[in-house]
Amino acid sequence: MDFFKWVNLFFIIFNCFLPIFSNSSSTSNDNLPINKFLDLAKNPQVFDWMVDIRRKIHEKPELAYEEFETSELIRAKLDELGIPYKHPVAVTGVIGYIGTGLPPFVALRADMDALLMQELVEWEHKSKVPGKMHACGHDAHVAMLLGAAKILKGLEKELPGTVVLVFQPAEEGAGGAKKVVDAGVLENVSAIFGLHVNHNLRLGEVASRSGPLFAGSGFFEAIISGKGGHAAIPQHSIDPILAASNVIVSLQHIVSREADPLDSQVVTVAKFQGGGAFNVIPDSVTIGGTFRVFSDKSLKQLRSRIEQVITGQAAVHRCNATVSFLEEEMGLSPPTINNGGLHGYFQSIAGSVLGVDKVKDMQPVMGSEDFAFYQQALPGYIFLLGMENPSVERLHLPHSPYFKINEDALPYGAALHAALAARYLVEFHQEVSVVEGKYHDEL
Ligand X SMILES: *[C@@H]1O[C@H](CO)[C@@H](O)[C@H](O)[C@H]1NC(C)=O
- Nearest residue by C-beta to Zn ion? 136
CB of 243 or CB of 414, closer to ligand X: 243
CB of 92 or CB of 225, closer to ligand X: 225
Tell whether 172 is in a known binding site: yes
- CA separation for the pair 431, 439 (Å, rounded): 12
**Who's near 262: CB < 8 A, 6+ residues apart?**
none
- CA separation for the pair 411, 201 (Å, rounded): 16
Q: Is 40 in the site for Zn ion (CB under 5 A)?
A: no
Partner touching 71 among ligand X, Zn ion, none, CB below 5 to 8 Å by kind: none
CB of 117 or CB of 185, closer to ligand X: 185
Q: Is 192 in the site for Zn ion (CB under 5 A)?
A: no
- CA separation for the pair 376, 339 (Å, rounded): 10
Strand order in the sheet with 189-202: 85-89, 93-99, 162-168, 105-111, 189-202, 380-388, 206-208, 359-361
Q: Footprint of ligand X on this chain (CB under 6 A)?
A: 184, 187-188, 225-227, 238, 319-320
CB of 9 or CB of 231, closer to ligand X: 231
Name the nearest CA neighbour of 62 among 164, 170, 186, 197.
170
Give min distance, CB of 382 to Zn ion, in A: 11
- Determine the length of the chain: 443
Partner touching 335 among ligand X, Zn ion, none, CB below 5 to 8 Å by kind: none
CB of 245 or CB of 389, closer to ligand X: 245
Give min distance, CB of 95 to ligand X, in A: 10
Give min distance, CB of 243 to ligand X, in A: 9
Tell whether 16 is in a known binding site: no
CB of 102 or CB of 116, closer to ligand X: 102
Give min distance, CB of 240 to ligand X, in A: 8
Tell whether 399 is in a known binding site: yes
Q: Is 136 in the site for Zn ion (CB under 5 A)?
A: yes
Q: Which stretch binds Zn ion (CB under 5 A): 74-82, 128-136, 243-251, 415-423?
A: 128-136
Partner touching 136 among ligand X, Zn ion, none, CB below 5 to 8 Å by kind: Zn ion
Give min distance, CB of 318 to Zn ion, in A: 41
Give min distance, CB of 399 to Zn ion, in A: 6
Which amino acids are annotated as binding site, given as ranges?
A: 136, 138, 172, 196, 399
Which amino acids are annotated as binding site for Mn(2+), given as ranges?
A: 136, 138, 172, 196, 399
Which positions touch Zn ion (CB under 5 A)? 136
